[in-house]
Amino acid sequence: MQLSGAAGEAGATREASAAPARRARVGALASGGGRTVANLADACARGEVPAEVVVCVVTRADAGATERCRERGIPVVVVAPEPAASFDDRVDAALRAHGVEWVCLCGYLRRFRVDAWRGRALNIHPALLPEFGGAGMWGMRVHEAVLAAGRQESGCTVHWVDDEYDHGAPVVQRRCPVLPGDTPQALADRVFREECAAYPEALRAVVGR
């Protein structure tokens, strides 16, 4: 029996409201311990971002990201750096095989060939770009440079990926103080707390466009 009129409209409304909202499919790329991937995946799982991390690409099977992702049921694909000539193609193939729509670099230390993903790829950097970015500026080196420069403020930047390291337009920046007596590790810990808020915020902003 087909309902008509107000009853039919009410039924259709209930069915529409019951349907789960579609979530964007995110592929993560990681080189290190995977804290950034885990933070992003957990934010998605809590419903803070209308997305889900559907695969994580790493270059070594023993990367710390591997265990963190598998604990969360996220498939991990190992793409070996050699042969170098086919590396970018194999990364693209791994992302496409999992239906990825958005790419998030999460402590990924290789240059990412953005061609097929331009306007759909984000990176996070542990400083207030454009300062303290570029080739060779990663991890503790960034915080050491901030302290050596005598800055009173640091933070993190989520930005669009382009053809240069740490160069694309910012999407979100969050700031934190540099405190007297800070060590690079103390500053890194403070910046990472901002990263944990910044990446989900940026991803939520772009997938909702």
Q: What is the pLDDT of residues 40-50, one digit of tens each?
A: 999 999 999 99
Distance, CA of 79 to CA of 67 (rounded, Å):
16
Q: Does a structural domain hold residue 18?
A: no
Check residues 13 and 25 and name the one with the higher pLDDT: 25
Q: Does a structural domain hold residue 6?
A: no
Most distant CA atoms of the chain, gap in Å = 75
**Overall domain count for the chain:** 1
Q: Does a structural domain hold residue 70?
A: yes
User: What is the pTM for the complete model shown?
Assistant: 0.89
Report percent pLDDT > 70 for the chain.
Answer: 90
Distance, CA of 140 to CA of 190 (rounded, Å):
13
Q: Does a structural domain hold residue 1?
A: no
Domain limits for position 98: 23-207
pLDDT (0 to 100) of residue 22: 86
Q: Does a structural domain hold residue 153?
A: yes
**Structural contact between residues 145 and 137, judged by C-beta atoms closer than 8 angstroms:** yes
Q: Does a structural domain hold residue 5?
A: no
Other Cβ atoms within 10 Å of 8 Cβ, number: 11
Which band of pLDDT confidence, cut at 50, 70 and 90, is reported for residue 63? confident
Ranking 19-23, 158-162, 171-175, 196-200 by mean pLDDT, the lowest is 19-23
The domain that holds 200 is classified in CATH as 3.40.50.170
Based on its alpha-carbon atoms, the radius of gyration of the chain, rounded to whole angstroms, reads: 20
Q: Does a structural domain hold residue 7?
A: no
Q: Does a structural domain hold residue 14?
A: no
Interhelix angle 64-71/35-45, nearest 10 degrees: 20
pLDDT (0 to 100) of residue 19: 53
Q: Which residues contact 172 (CB under 8 A, 6 or more apart)?
A: 157, 158, 198, 199, 201, 202, 205
Q: Which whole-number Å values give the CA distances from 187 to 40, 119, 135, in the listed order?
A: 21, 31, 21
pLDDT at 12 over 80: no
When the pLDDT of each residue in the chain is averaged and rounded to a whole number, the result is 92
Which band of pLDDT confidence, cut at 50, 70 and 90, is reported for residue 21? confident
Check residues 190 and 8 and name the one with the higher pLDDT: 190
pLDDT at 80 over 80: yes
Predicted confidence (pLDDT) per residue in 81-116, tens digit: 999 999 999 999 999 999 999 999 999 999 999 999
Predicted confidence (pLDDT) per residue in 118-163, tens digit: 999 999 999 999 999 999 999 999 999 999 999 999 999 999 999 9
Question: Which sequence positions are flagged as catalytic?
Answer: 125
pLDDT (0 to 100) of residue 3: 41
pLDDT at 1 over 50: no
